[in-house]
């Protein structure tokens, strides 16, 4: 009888150990039908399926290299690739500056905790961060003080975005509030509202804005019409156009260009062409800027 109890106890303990080991292992075995993107701290990107993972490593099945093991302490970010990001068998990565064209904002806003840095022709510098799903704020500077202490423009850019129909119609409103350090009565800015039809990848925006200089608002609104069309997994066509009234005339400012995503850097390029009664000859002003994301979302957990 004692012998039978010992055998039964041993069998029960063995069963419990087996059950617990299966349960623990199951916690780390993933659904291999899901597609993921892994960014590593050394700058590499891997696309594929998670076969298994634990606190030390991830076994990852890639299309290019087959199964690979990636140490968890070298993983910067794991992101699930949802079906809407896969088109014609290719992965269309997110445009992390999809709330803005070259310069003008649209009706979409930055997501909470998203942030980026924008630089245009070296001297123009701007930072933006999403504080909530509907509100973002940023600031910028053109550091002319580096050139013999020349007057230096600085500014803040608060923005509110309101989704009316999700991913189809958004309203945005905000302001650029600036000051030229080193000048008297040097306040400047613009208050604006804009409506955007379309998704973050393909949209058209119409905006109105009233500018002010030294406390005086303009009599007539500035009008802009912008569009963005995604043409490939990492490329966009952009056009940003303005009607700018003056005291006795107006200026039309047209632009054509694009945006390319290179690794995690966005490269904006294009030409701005001013037209109007006071523009006596054809001028094409080149635009070259870069945008780098600053947010560090960690989507990897156990």
Say if CB 117 and CB 294 are below 8 A apart.
yes
**Tokens for 22?**
């299966």
Residue 157, burial from CB neighbour count under 10 angstroms (0-12, 13-18, 19+)? buried
Q: Indicate the burial class of 187 (C-beta count within 10 angstroms; 0-12, 13-18, 19 or more).
A: middle
For the segment 21-61, what is each residue's pLDDT rounded down to a tens digit?
Answer: 444 343 334 555 678 888 888 878 888 888 888 888 899 98
Has residue 70 got a pLDDT over 50? yes
Q: Helix, strand or coil for residue 100?
A: strand
Predicted pLDDT at 32: 52
Q: Which of 88, 59, 85, 86 is nearest to 72 (CA)?
A: 59
Structural fold of domain 115-293: Porin (2.40.160)
Domain 2-91 class?
mainly beta
Residues listed for the chain: 302
Query: What 3-state DSSP class applies to 136?
Result: strand
115-154 burial, b at 16+ Cβ within 10 Å, e below that, comes to bbebebeeeeebebbbeeeeebebbbbbebeeeeeeebbe
pTM above 0.85, yes or no: no
User: What are the structure tokens assigned to 21, written together?
Assistant: 């080991």
Query: Worst-scoring range by mean pLDDT, 43-47, 130-134, 143-147?
Result: 43-47
Average pLDDT, the chain: 85
In this predicted structure, what is the pLDDT of residue 15? 46
Instruction: Write down the domain spans for the chain.
Output: 2-91, 115-293
Q: What element of type H or E holds 238? A: strand 235-245
């Amino acid at each position: 009888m004692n012998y039978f109890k010992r055998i039964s106890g041993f069998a029960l303990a063995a069963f419990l150990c087996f059950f617990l080991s299966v349960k623990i292992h199951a916690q780390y075995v993933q659904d291999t039908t899901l597609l993921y993107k892994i960014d590593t701290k050394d700058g590499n990107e891997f696309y594929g399926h998670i076969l298994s993972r634990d606190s030390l490593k991830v076994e990852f099945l890639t299309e290019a290299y087959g199964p690979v093991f990636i140490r968890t302490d070298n993983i910067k970010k794991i992101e699930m690739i949802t079906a809407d990001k896969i088109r014609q068998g290719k992965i269309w990565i997110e445009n992390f500056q999809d709330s803005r064209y070259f310069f003008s904002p649209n009706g979409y806003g930055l997501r909470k905790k998203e942030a980026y840095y924008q630089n245009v022709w070296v001297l123009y510098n701007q930072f933006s961060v999403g504080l909530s799903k509907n509100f973002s704020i940023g600031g910028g500077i053109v550091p002319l003080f580096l050139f013999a202490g020349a007057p230096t423009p600085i500014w803040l850019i608060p923005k509110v975005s309101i989704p009316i129909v999700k991913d189809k119609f958004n309203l945005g409103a905000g302001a650029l509030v600036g000051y030229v350090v080193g000048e008297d009565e040097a306040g400047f800015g613009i208050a604006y509202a804009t409506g955007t039809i379309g998704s973050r990848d393909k949209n058209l925006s119409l905006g109105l804005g009233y500018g002010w200089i030294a406390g005086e608002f303009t009599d007539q609104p500035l009008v802009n019409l912008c569009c963005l069309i995604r043409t490939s997994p990492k490329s966009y066509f952009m056009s940003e156009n303005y009607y700018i009234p003056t005291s006795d005339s107006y200026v039309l400012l047209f632009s054509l260009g694009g945006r390319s995503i290179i690794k995690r850097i966005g490269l904006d390029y294009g030409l701005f062409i001013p037209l109007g009664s006071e523009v006596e000859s054809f001028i094409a002003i080149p635009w070259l800027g870069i945008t780098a994301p600053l947010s560090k979302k960690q989507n990897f957990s156990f």
